Structure 1
Amino acid sequence: MTFGSFSRHLSLLGAGLALLATSTPVLPQDGNDEARLRRLEAEVRALQRKVFPGGDGRFFEPEISAEPSTRPAAPTTSTTAVTDILTRLDALETQLQRQTALNEENTNTIRLLTERIETLESAGASGSVLTPVPAVTPAPTSGATRSVTPAKPAGPSPERLAAVQGIAKPQTDDAADDEYSYGFRLWEARLYPEAQQQLTMFVEQNPKHWRATYGRNLLGRAYLDDGKAKEAAPWFLKNYQEDKTGARAGDSLLYLAETMIAMKDTSRACIALAEFSETYPALASGRLQSQYEANRSKVKCN
């Protein structure tokens, strides 16, 4: 509504109110006066509606009244928060499903490993031999960038099967000692992969047995004699550090020096030789003297 229109409405309202003010405040004498008064009141209400849209109880009574609604107003809060909660619940449910699947996979893996261990233990208890470990020959390459498919492991030859089956497992009152002795027999027969498998099982299952120092040392030798100096070194070092007073701790330290020589690590070889002569002088001049001097002759130490 413009300012001019609003002013005109106010003028009309003022005229209507003035007309009411000049009327005689006595009761009308006939029907015409009563009808005229009602018409003027109706015109005033009409002016009020134009000047005050929506109505106001102070000026006139609305012709149509409605009961106030008791229903609460609809919430104006955005549904973004609810959407976020639902999204997070979906994500948690997905994560829970993945975790459940992972737990099932782990349970299945543990079950298979347990069955494998039980099979090996049953085989050991019955005097069975280890499964022969076939040698793997890598496929040759004709170029540095050529991609080759690794050769599949070949099955053990009949000769190897016969050799492994020919190694008898001892059966005494000391089952742990029998496990070590069986590994020694495999190593002595130069069945190095099978000896490594057997001796690894022995030292892991019997770390406190009196034969453990023999087992760790012989395991290192099984790798060293198989041309795997890198795999042998940790076992020699572990056996020396585990118990320096052990029956084969000195042997392992000297074999560690020999392993470093095979790996062309002169510095560490010299350190091992020096520590051996200082820690085990009786062995250096006695049982292991020839091996000690042979290793010293292979390196030049300061």
Structure 2
Amino acid sequence: MTFKIPLRGFDEIRATTIGFAASHFSELEPDMTTVRPFFVLSSRMSLAAQMLGSTMMAALIASASPAAAQATSLEPRVKKLESEMRAVQRKVFPGASDRFFEPEISAPASAPAPTGVSASAPLTDILQRVDTLETQITRLTAQTEENGFKIGQLEKRLLQMEEQAKAAAAAAAAAPAGTGAAAPGAGASTPRPATPGAAAAASAAPSAERVAAVSKIEKPQSADAGEDAYLYGYRLWEAKFYPEAQAQLRFALEKHPRHKRSSYTRNLLGRAYLDDGKPSAAAKMFAENYEKEPKGDRAPESLYFLGESLIKLNEKPKACVAFTELAEVYPDVAAGRLSDRLATGRRNAGCK
């Protein structure tokens, strides 16, 4: 008894299976459609199935090869992206810590794929690493924007500080800062009595009329700023604007402490205090001028006006010491331009 088995759908493996069957299945009919005993048919079909399975496995492996090749071709590109990302991190955040970004971007070590793992596993790994790169780029972008905002705030603050500094400089320039040739007899002129109410005027806010009057005092403008500063103070003192003169002369000393007119300036500042009813401040300034510049042009005058200030402070014995110092240290001046004043001062102090 024989069985006929139609063979369909095996064109692609026909050559392989026929050759194998021809060499092993001697009982097959020449047309490969007839098998004699049933148990022989079963055995031979099993062998054919094994052959077919092997061939299909080979086909599957071959079909997976393009995916694996694609993953392999993407690997260098992903590594390049990761390297560039690390370079960007070092550029944007040199020396930054892990609080802002990961020091290195590295794909997790993948264990060898076990037998039977899908050929898409390499692609999945690459996609995960690309996602990691996108996350890092997003984080860097946000941090860069935040840094840009902070830098903008700092620049704005610096501009404000510069404007404030310019405003302060403009205010200082608007303050009495004039100069000019010093009046030769300024230090030796006759002392003026303190104007009644001068102290009160100094402490009170100046009236509009006083401000207008002070603004009429001409500010010298020359190439010597120190000279101009002293002369403007002298003009204010001469006009009996004592508080304004004091402020201007202090300004001149602060800006030009080593100017050739510094002895004139300190002496005139002491006189502005004395004429303003401030003998204590005047005495300190006269003593300072004498001690700092004993050879200064106005050191003799400062000793004389120191005695006058001490008389007003009811320190007549000390005033006599100042007058004696003047006569001994500067005998020519004491016998010359200050002779009359010195005699009057000694008499008022009761000096022997």
1:239 counterpart (289, 311, 319) = 289
Alignment partners' CA distance in 2, 1:209 and 1:125:
17
Alignment partners' CA distance in 2, 1:214 and 1:118:
26
Q: Which amino acid aligns with 1:232?
A: A
Alignment partners' CA distance in 2, 1:299 and 1:211:
30
Tell me which residue corresponds to 1:195.
Answer: 245
Structure 1: gaps spanning 5 or more residues: 1-109, 128-133, 139-152
Alignment partners' CA distance in 2, 1:164 and 1:222:
16
Alignment partners' CA distance in 1, 2:164 and 2:308:
36
Q: Which amino acid aligns with 2:286?
A: F
Alignment partners' CA distance in 2, 1:250 and 1:117:
38
Tell me which residue corresponds to 1:50.
Answer: none
Equivalent residues of 2:306, 2:322 under 8 A apart: yes
Using a 3 Å threshold, how does the CA distance of structure 1 residues 249 and 116 change in structure 2: closer, same or farther? farther
Q: Which amino acid aligns with 1:123?
A: A
Alignment partners' CA distance in 2, 1:226 and 1:265:
19
Alignment partners' CA distance in 1, 2:163 and 2:252:
20
Tell me which residue corresponds to 1:299.
Answer: 349
User: In the TM superposition, what are the counterparts of 1:137-156 in structure 2 within 5 Å?
Assistant: 137=200, 154-156=204-206
Query: Which deviates more from structure 2 when the two are superposed, residues 240-249 or residues 111-120?
Result: 111-120
- Greater Rg by CA: 2
Using a 3 Å threshold, how does the CA distance of structure 1 residues 114 and 245 change in structure 2: closer, same or farther? farther
Tell me which residue corresponds to 1:171.
Answer: 221
Using a 3 Å threshold, how does the CA distance of structure 1 residues 267 and 114 change in structure 2: closer, same or farther? farther
1:48-73 CA distances to partner (integer Å, 9 max, x unpaired)?
A: xxxxxxxxxxxxxxxxxxxxxxxxxx
Alignment partners' CA distance in 2, 1:244 and 1:124:
31
Equivalent residues of 2:273, 2:279 under 8 A apart: yes
Q: Which amino acid aligns with 1:293?
A: A
| Number of residue equivalences | 173
Q: Which amino acid aligns with 2:172?
A: E
Instruction: Describe the SS at the equivalent of 1:204.
Output: helix
Alignment partners' CA distance in 1, 2:162 and 2:323:
46
User: In the TM superposition, what are the counterparts of 1:25-36 in structure 2 within 5 Å?
Assistant: none
Normalising by the residue count of structure 2, what TM-score does the alignment of the two structures yield?
Answer: 0.45
- Asked if 1:253 is matched to 2:309, the reply is no
Q: Which amino acid aligns with 2:170?
A: T
Tell me which residue corresponds to 1:287.
Answer: 337
Normalising by the residue count of structure 1, what TM-score does the alignment of the two structures yield?
Answer: 0.52
Alignment partners' CA distance in 2, 1:208 and 1:126:
16
Tell me which residue corresponds to 2:254.
Answer: 204
Determine which structure has the larger helix proportion and give its number: 2
Alignment partners' CA distance in 1, 2:350 and 2:334:
18
Alignment partners' CA distance in 2, 1:117 and 1:172:
23
1:122 counterpart (155, 161, 173) = 173
Alignment partners' CA distance in 2, 1:160 and 1:181:
20
1:23-75 CA distances to partner (integer Å, 9 max, x unpaired)?
A: xxxxxxxxxxxxxxxxxxxxxxxxxxxxxxxxxxxxxxxxxxxxxxxxxxxxx
Alignment partners' CA distance in 1, 2:266 and 2:163:
27
Equivalent residues of 2:176, 2:248 under 8 A apart: no
User: In the TM superposition, what are the counterparts of 1:1-302 in structure 2 within 5 Å?
Assistant: 117-123=168-174, 137=200, 154-302=204-352
1:82-117 CA distances to partner (integer Å, 9 max, x unpaired)?
A: xxxxxxxxxxxxxxxxxxxxxxxxxxxx99996675
Q: Which amino acid aligns with 2:174?
A: A
Deviation at 1:161, TM superposition (A): 1.6
Alignment partners' CA distance in 2, 1:113 and 1:279:
50
Equivalent residues of 1:203, 1:215 under 8 A apart: yes
Using a 3 Å threshold, how does the CA distance of structure 1 residues 135 and 273 change in structure 2: closer, same or farther? closer
Alignment partners' CA distance in 2, 1:264 and 1:186:
29
RMSD after superposition: 2.9
Instruction: Describe the SS at the equivalent of 1:297.
Output: helix
Deviation at 1:180, TM superposition (A): 0.8
Alignment partners' CA distance in 2, 1:223 and 1:294:
21
Instruction: Describe the SS at the equivalent of 1:256.
Output: helix
Using a 3 Å threshold, how does the CA distance of structure 1 residues 112 and 282 change in structure 2: closer, same or farther? farther
